[in-house]
Amino acid sequence: MSSTTEQTSICTSNQHDCACGDTPLITATSPESTAAVGASSVVYRIENMDCPTEETLIRQKLTSVEGITQLKFNLLERKLTIEHRLADEKPIQRALQEIGMQAELVDTATQAQQHRSTSPTSSKSWWLIGLGVASAIAAEVIAWVSGNESSWAVIALSLFAILISGVGTYKKGWIALANLNLNINALMAIAVTGAVIIGQWPEAAMVMALFSLSEMIEALSLDRARNAIRGLMAMAPEQATVKQADGTWLTVGTDQVQIGEILRVAPGERVPLDGVLTEGASAIDQAPITGESIPVAKNIGDQVFAGTINQSGSFLYRVSSLKSDSMLARIIVRIEEAQASRAPTQRFVDQFAKIYTPVVFLLALAVMIVPPVFFGLLWSVWVYKALVLLVIACPCALVVSTPVTVVSGLAAAAKAGILIKGGVYLEDGRNLKVLALDKTGTITLGKPSVTDITPLQGDTNTHLGLAASLANRSDHPVSGAICRYWKTQFPTVSLTEVSQFEALMGRGVKARVDDQWFYLGNHRLVEELGICNTSLEATLRTFEGDGKTVVILCNETAPLLMVAVADTVRETSRQAIAELHAMGVRTVMLTGDNTLTAKAIAKLVGIDDARGDLLPEDKLAAIQQEITQYGHVGMVGDGINDAPALAKAHIGFAMGAAGTDTALETADVALMDDDLRKIPQFIQLSQRTSRILKQNISLALGIKVIFLILAVFGSASLWMAVFADMGASLLVIFNGLRLVKLTTTSKTTLV
């Protein structure tokens, strides 16, 4: 899910809207579209680009710079990527400076490893804000006690408060107004100035002081959202112990370790980089990757991942990828990309906010003018009401509410070993009505073993050898079972060389041995060869009824040998299916294996419906049918013979994504290990996300509506409006961040 182009190309419309209104917190292009445009690209870190208000301003300003082709905003990271065809970056820097943005060039190569101090606040500014708030309160108190709003003491204290806390706001507001942009700073500056003009000194001071306080608190809490993701990155150690040519060990930075080098990991240490174990053995807690903290035994030849925790033994391993390319690094890149794509709710909110600000602004104008002019009411009262409206015209809380929630949902999922490729899937998960599951490797372990051998003709061992020789060329699980069986039964007998080997999709394999064609495959294959018979079918049925998979070795004229294999059902499958049913999700098994076997296994794990004998295109059709009949359909599979079906489903899940690149790249949701229970967990997270999104939107909107009504008909004061606005922003941010916690605790109940 990549964002649409209209958000990513430079946009010149809507220049007069409030900046928070028409900008998402993060926008970005899909990687494909950025490659083609612009000769070069630069990344800036803009320290004061922390509220959605700044984006439109920057967008507008940079539009006027010739040679800039594309802008990518990541407000959560405060990063701006600019694609351009300029000779150098001076014009960009100048333009950013003109609108008061402190832009700092980021070296893209090292940015992943950077540990930045993200706090935009210094103790000095806290001190200033404290002083501002204190003098505003003092002014308010004196005015209240003396009953005089414009005594010289009140004016002096107020002016002091406005100046010391409001300089930044005035500056930003002025720049925005000069660029014909009505952002929150401009709105606040107008409101405060207006209040001063009508003689409401303490009010003006209070608004300014509270506003700068809320800006700072909001920036701080957004930092927490940022850290939810960056916390994942911190899991890989910075240093590694590397074997030197002379056999000694040296500790170096992980970014200097090359592929192929040997590292040593002591018990209790975290694995610094991805690699393959070469010496020793241990048990490793892979929670940072898979979300599952029960240690996994690792022996020579097993893969280990950066960031995972070595629990018991000391071991050596060979590095297989650079730091920037580790599984953990790739997961983080995926999450960052996922953040960049906008979830549906976010799009709705942005759309809404675009209308909201101008409407409230016009309403404020009407409130200011209509009652005094047409009904002869008091100017000062209605101007004041209009100013309150201005304060609540900026939908900052609303705009912030969605991305913060979605990002913490994505981070929470990643912590649980569920990699979601975009907010859209996180939001969509709760709508799933059907989950289609592939059988082999998904419900079962995908490592079957031979259970029965039934000779049909000729010498059993000769034919078994032939079957194993054909199977040896295939990596299908059924073939694998036959090979393994042969090797344990006849470890010294070598297999026959076959020629013209060919895999027959969904049926089996064929190859030539001694100028004769041999076939190894399922019932469908025997039918296609036209050599099936009723007694063979009867035997087939008894095996299949037991949930076994049968393949038959045939030559061109007759079936020769029958081999039955059985796969083990994953322990977690049954529980996962039960949890899905409890959530009201229908389950259906779609498999290339025969229907009888499929039904037997489905019964074993409690799956509602099972369909067998499906070729890849049949699986696709089955998904289409489920969609028509039930609505939202998810599919989980290995992606080998069910890629089209996975793509067709609303959400495609891949299992065991740690260690396989394709699953990580192609699935909409990648489960880092083989635990199907992650799917109900994902749905649960999606439900929670949606609940929190709804809470946040109603909270932000509700407070606005209350104040809108109070402002016009009642007696809402300016500082109450600012206070409510700040409260709403903070509430939605903290409510969003709650997701990370919720999931960590719920996991223990699921496992």
**Tokens read off for 612:** 């067998």
In whole angstroms, how close is the CB of 37 to ligand ATP at the nearest point? 41
Nearer to ligand ATP, 209 or 550 (CB): 550
Nearer to ligand ATP, 26 or 645 (CB): 645
In whole angstroms, how close is the CB of 103 to ligand ATP at the nearest point? 52
Instruction: Check the CA dihedral 748-337-53-49 and report its sign.
Output: positive
Residue 629 CA neighbour count, 13 Å, CB half? 9
Task: Identify residues 536-575 at the interface with Zn ion (CB under 5 A).
Answer: 537
**φ, ψ for residue 644, nearest 5 deg:** -60, -40
- 618 carries an active-site annotation: no
The one of ligand ATP, Zn ion, none whose footprint includes residue 417, by CB under 5 to 8 A per kind, is none
Partnered with residue 240 across adjacent β-strands are 252
DSSP 440: I
Instruction: Check the CA dihedral 245-246-252-254 and report its sign.
Output: positive
The one of ligand ATP, Zn ion, none whose footprint includes residue 551, by CB under 5 to 8 A per kind, is ligand ATP
Nearer to ligand ATP, 212 or 522 (CB): 522
Burial of 622 (0-12, 13-18, 19+ CB in 10 A): buried
Nearer to Zn ion, 238 or 537 (CB): 537
Classify strands 249-253 and 239-243 as parallel, antiparallel or unpaired.
antiparallel
Does position 478 bind Zn ion by CB under 5 A? no
CA torsion 186→190→196→202, rounded to 10°?
Answer: -60
In whole angstroms, how close is the CB of 480 to ligand ATP at the nearest point? 8
The one of ligand ATP, Zn ion, none whose footprint includes residue 532, by CB under 5 to 8 A per kind, is Zn ion
For Zn ion, which residue has the nearest CB? 532
DSSP reduced 3-state for 579: helix
For ligand ATP, which residue has the nearest CB? 592
**Tokens read off for 687:** 């439900």
How far apart CA 329 and CA 254 sit, in angstroms, is 13
Nearer to ligand ATP, 408 or 549 (CB): 549
Q: In the complex, which residues of this chain contact ligand ATP (CB under 6 A)?
A: 438-440, 471, 474, 476, 478-479, 503, 506-509, 520-522, 549, 551, 591-593, 641
In whole angstroms, how close is the CB of 706 to ligand ATP at the nearest point? 56
Angle at 397 between CA 394 and CA 398, to 5 degrees: 85
Nearer to Zn ion, 117 or 534 (CB): 534
In whole angstroms, how close is the CB of 520 to ligand ATP at the nearest point? 6
Residues shown for the chain: 751
Nearer to ligand ATP, 526 or 692 (CB): 526
The one of Zn ion, ligand ATP, none whose footprint includes residue 528, by CB under 5 to 8 A per kind, is none
The one of ligand ATP, Zn ion, none whose footprint includes residue 634, by CB under 5 to 8 A per kind, is none
How far apart CA 141 and CA 163 sit, in angstroms, is 19
In whole angstroms, how close is the CB of 657 to ligand ATP at the nearest point? 17
The one of Zn ion, ligand ATP, none whose footprint includes residue 573, by CB under 5 to 8 A per kind, is none
Identify the active-site residue in 438, 668, 673, 675.
438
Alpha helices in 376-476 (DSSP H): 379-391, 396-415, 423-428, 460-471
In whole angstroms, how close is the CB of 575 to ligand ATP at the nearest point? 20
The one of ligand ATP, Zn ion, none whose footprint includes residue 522, by CB under 5 to 8 A per kind, is ligand ATP
Nearer to ligand ATP, 68 or 435 (CB): 435
631 contacts: CB under 8 Å, gap ≥ 6: 431, 433, 434
The one of Zn ion, ligand ATP, none whose footprint includes residue 474, by CB under 5 to 8 A per kind, is ligand ATP
Partnered with residue 277 across adjacent β-strands are 317
In whole angstroms, how close is the CB of 457 to Zn ion at the nearest point? 16
263 contacts: CB under 8 Å, gap ≥ 6: 240, 241, 242, 243, 257, 272, 273, 275, 316, 317, 318, 319
How far apart CA 122 and CA 672 sit, in angstroms, is 40
Residue 738 CA neighbour count, 13 Å, CB half? 16
What character string, x for contact with Zn ion (CB under 5 A) and - otherwise, covers 512-541? ---------------x----x----x----
Nearest C-alpha neighbor of 383 from the set 395, 394, 371, 392 = 371
By annotation, the residues acting in catalysis are 438
Residues engaged in binding Zn ion (CB under 5 A) = 527, 532, 537
